[in-house]
Structure 1
Amino acid sequence: MKRMVGEIMSSGARENWEPRTLPVDPEATGRLREWLTEEGFSLFGVELDFRGADLSGGDFSSSWFTDSVLAGVRLAGAVLYRADLQSADLTGADLTGADLVRANLDRALLRSARLDGADMVNASLHGVDASRASFRGTRIMGASLYGADMRGADLTDAVLFQNAFKVSVDDSTTVRGLTGSVFGPISLFSGESSREMGGAELEAWVAERGGKVEVIAPGSPPQ
């Protein structure tokens, strides 16, 4: 496998980068190999299965992973600037330190994914299932989270800034060191029941758990 990747990269199309491991699926491997020899094109990986791949450090700016399977794939330090990851399955994926600025993650599965230290500024995460995902130290500034499931997620030391933050949390959601400003409300789950929480109540809930956020009232001017 290593030899094959080396042969691909000899063209110089993707200078100074090669995948550490290619996908198990032949179709995904073929598409990736073609892309590695192209100049100036985004990877078109729609509906492909990339499981088994280690794509750490790759530049996938503006690439298309719509409806793709990236479960368990290593994408540590990868550049996914403006990438389309709508409805992609990223369950258990490693996105540590990844650049997800302006990425479209609407309806993606991020269950148990690791996004520690990732840059998610202005990303879109509508309807995302991020239950038990790790966002330790992640910059989620200006991102839109509508209907995002963050029950059991770890937001330790994550940074928010005027985020649309209509998310679902529960008592296992970690917010220690969480800072910034959000537009609420959030949905707090206890078992099968839930209630909305916003304003001073939400600020107090976060503070009790070691974080500090400002909840911005709708219609308030930017600070």
Structure 2
Amino acid sequence: MSSGIRKNWNPAAFPAAPEATHLLQEWMTEEGYSLFGIEHDFRGADLSGGDFTKAWFTQAVLADVRLTGAIFYRADLQSADLTGADLTGADLTGADLVKANLDGAVLRSARLDGADMARASLQEVDASEASFRGTRIMGASLLGVDLRGADLTDAVLFQNTFKVTVDDRTVMHGLTGTVFGPITVFCGASSRDLADAELEEWVAERGGQVQVIPRAQQ
């Protein structure tokens, strides 16, 4: 991370927790290391536009934090036991999450509209009722991701592992791209797996157009 970018940036609001505020202030004045925000509570902060390249937010609390346009390139928001960061209700509109590790993170009701999630890793992630409108999810790995009630309007996919859980509330309008399935569709208490042409048809019925890469090529 460039020290110049860091020194020219100040949070619009610091976290309510004094420990997290002190951590940020110390990091902003020092050079040569990534933010080590493991297990810290950043609630109440507005960190929009911050450059958190290669930062560590393992098990951090970022619920309802404003992170619009923030950079999380290669940032780590998970742990070995998949106890990830809590980003419930966080605003990540336009954020850079390229190659970010979000395994085990909680993205419930988060906003990721227009974010770049190319080659990000999402394993066992709760993204229920999250918004991915216009999000670039390209070359990413989504394994065991809960997208029930999520909004994928105009999101762009490209050769993603896409083993996700959806339901009739999941919005697919304008969703385009290529994926490896299958997905699990819930309807009430019952569920079914969809792959190949059946998955393409299900998305098309909801206003999207995706191409499912044949299993032989996976």
Bin of the TM-score, shorter chain as denominator length:
over 0.9
Give the distance between the partners of 1:219 and 1:67, measured in 2 at CA: 37
Q: Which one-letter code corresponds to 1:194 in the other structure? A: S
Give the distance between the partners of 2:4 and 2:195, measured in 1 at CA: 53
Q: Which one-letter code corresponds to 1:177 in the other structure? A: G
CA contact (8 A) 1:13 1:37 kept: no
Local SS of the residue matching 1:99: coil
Instruction: Give how far 1:12 is off.
Output: 6.5
1:48 aligns with 2:45: no
Local SS of the residue matching 2:178: strand
Give the distance between the partners of 1:155 and 1:104, measured in 2 at CA: 20
What is the aligned partner in structure 2 of residue 6 from structure 1? none
CA contact (8 A) 2:94 2:115 kept: yes
Q: Which one-letter code corresponds to 1:90 in the other structure? A: L
What is the aligned partner in structure 2 of residue 201 from structure 1? 198
Instruction: Give ranges in structure 1 of 5+ residues lacking alignment.
Output: 1-10
Instruction: Give how far 1:41 is off.
Output: 1.3
Give the distance between the partners of 1:208 and 1:21, measured in 2 at CA: 44
CA contact (8 A) 2:57 2:85 kept: yes
Alignment of 1:6-155 (within 5 A): 14-86=6-78, 87-155=84-152
Using a 3 Å threshold, how does the CA distance of structure 1 residues 13 and 148 change in structure 2: closer, same or farther? closer
Output one character per residue of 1:115-159: Cα deviation in whole Å (capped at 9) or x when no partner. 000000000000000000000000000110000000000000000
Give the distance between the partners of 1:45 and 1:184, measured in 2 at CA: 34
RMSD (Å) for aligned C-alpha atoms: 1.3
Local SS of the residue matching 1:14: helix
Local SS of the residue matching 1:140: strand
Local SS of the residue matching 2:197: helix
What is the aligned partner in structure 2 of residue 5 from structure 1? none
CA contact (8 A) 1:13 1:38 kept: no
Instruction: Give ranges in structure 2 of 5+ residues lacking alignment.
Output: 79-83
Q: Which one-letter code corresponds to 1:15 in the other structure? A: K
Give the distance between the partners of 1:136 and 1:157, measured in 2 at CA: 6
Instruction: Give how far 1:13 is off.
Output: 7.7
Give the distance between the partners of 2:28 and 2:5, measured in 1 at CA: 6
CA contact (8 A) 2:7 2:28 kept: no
Instruction: Give how far 1:81 is off.
Output: 0.2
CA contact (8 A) 1:13 1:39 kept: no
Q: How many residue pairs are counted as aligned between the two chains?
A: 211
1:161 aligns with 2:158: yes
Which structure would you say has the larger Rg? 1
What is the aligned partner in structure 2 of residue 181 from structure 1? 178
CA contact (8 A) 2:7 2:29 kept: no
Using a 3 Å threshold, how does the CA distance of structure 1 residues 146 and 27 change in structure 2: closer, same or farther? same
TM-score, with length taken from structure 2: 0.94
What is the aligned partner in structure 1 of residue 81 from structure 2? none
Q: Which one-letter code corresponds to 1:148 in the other structure? A: V
- Greater share of residues in strand: 2
